[in-house]
Amino acid sequence: MRLEFTAAHATSFTIWHKGPGEAIFSQVGESPVPGLYEVTGLAAGEHLYEVVGRNSRGDGLASAPATVPVVGALPEQPWVSGESQAEGAVHLWYGAEGATSFQVWHKGPGEPVFTQVDTTVTGEYVTFGLVGGMHAYKAVGVNAAGAGPASEPLAIDVAAVAVA
């Protein structure tokens, strides 16, 4: 998160912060002119910042509070494993730290791009009726912050359904 600020006649600034669940502002930094404050690793929730300009005559008034919503970190890159368990069928397992649900993406034999085939919270996907050939799957972890990076593609050779 990056704050930039300025005030006429200020020679430095004091930065104040009130995080989620906190009752009062606490001083978190000082900055020369031009005003700049950067921070990482903030907890999810609403953060408030006030800035006070200072010069040789003392402190000015606090700025109006600036609200900075923090939604948290995206999920990590998922791992994915799976196998063809029967003719025309695939069973996948996947997981990612920080994910609350998953998108499952598939690319069949001869298809140029992946398409999303499911969204699930279980970490498991089973499908039947696939044509024989090499299929590729990816998983994407999702949480309140959004979609994280896709897993590495997993290639699974699917046997064709036998015709009787």
pTM, two decimal places: 0.60
Which residue ranges in the chain fall short of pLDDT 70? 163-164
**Assigned domain for 92 exists:** yes
Give yes or no: residues 83 and 150 share one domain: yes
Domain end, chosen from 11, 43, 70, is at 70
Give yes or no: residues 8 and 66 share one domain: yes
* CA trace torsion 112, 118, 91, 100 (10° rounding): 120
**Assigned domain for 118 exists:** yes
* 150: CATH: 2.60.40.10
Domain end, chosen from 29, 51, 70, is at 70
Q: How many domains does the chain have?
A: 2
- Check residue 161 and give its pLDDT: 76
**Assigned domain for 122 exists:** yes
Give yes or no: residues 50 and 83 share one domain: no
What are the start-end ranges of the E strands in the chain? 2-5, 12-18, 26-32, 35-38, 45-55, 58-62, 66-70, 79-86, 89-95, 101-107, 115-120, 124-127, 133-143, 146-150, 154-158
Residue ranges making up the domain that contains 108: 79-158
**Assigned domain for 51 exists:** yes
**Assigned domain for 164 exists:** no
Domain end, chosen from 53, 70, 87, is at 70
**Assigned domain for 39 exists:** yes
Give yes or no: residues 39 and 104 share one domain: no
- Check residue 41 and give its pLDDT: 73
Give yes or no: residues 90 and 144 share one domain: yes
- Check residue 33 and give its pLDDT: 84
Give yes or no: residues 65 and 85 share one domain: no
Q: How many CB atoms lie within 10 A of CB 115?
A: 9
123-164 confidence digits (pLDDT tens): 999 999 999 999 999 999 998 888 999 999 999 999 987 766
